[in-house]
Amino acid sequence: MVKRKAAVYLIKQKRTSLRRLYVLPVAAAMAVLAGCNTGPATDAENGTLAETDTVTAIHADTTAAKADTTAAGASGSMADADSAARQPVKELTLHAIGNSPEEMHFDLDTLKAEAGALIKLQLTNEAQDMPMVHNLVITAPGKYREVALAGEEAGASGNYVPASQNVIAASPIALPGQTIELEFTAPARPGVYDFVCTYPEHWQRMHGKFIVE
């Protein structure tokens, strides 16, 4: 009996030892796995934070760039407004006189303005009967005759104004008793320019000098 008990006791001890041997490696492996899992989780968290920081920085830079662009646009608009406010304005009036080809003429043979000025010109046709219709065309120096002859070819549909680089500004046709307005910017270069009525055959009697100072 004593030997049998001793044998049983030894078997129990061996089983306990084996259990300890199995438990220790498993516990160690679990600890290692836990350590490995901790590393990637931290990296993922760091990556998320880094990505968030990057997006925030990009958003901040974009917002700042938009603010700079808006400010630049506002400054440009203010500069344009200031430039327009500084531009001199010259108001001129001109009358087309006469009720026949022999009588027709402009009441002035010279108009003056400052270089680059905004010109606001009124043309009044004092005639009472057709076909005393007139227009007003500002031309390059010495080109009024050339422009007038080309205007005849342009015809009524083009208001007797040719498509020419020698034309600086042109009004519509003023019928008898009508007043029309012409607004344009005077040439930036001082000089003696011309004005003329380009209705057929009117240019011979209806022209003058536009002096830019």
Residue 65's pLDDT is: 52
For the chain, the structural domain boundaries read 1-86, 89-212
Range with the lowest mean pLDDT among 50-54, 141-145, 198-202, 203-207? 50-54
- The CATH number of the structural domain formed by 89-212 is 2.60.40.420
Residue 11's pLDDT is: 43
Mean pLDDT, the chain, as a whole number?
A: 78
Cis peptide before 25, with omega less than 30 degrees from 0? no
Distance, C-alpha 180 to centroid of its chain: 31
pLDDT mean over 40-45? 45
8 Å CB contact between 114 and 212: yes
Residue 131's pLDDT is: 85
Residue-wise pLDDT for 54-85, tens only, equals 444 444 455 555 555 555 555 555 555 566 67
Residue-wise pLDDT for 187-196, tens only, equals 999 999 999 9
**CA distance linking residue 131 with residue 124, whole number of Å:** 15
8 Å CB contact between 201 and 131: no
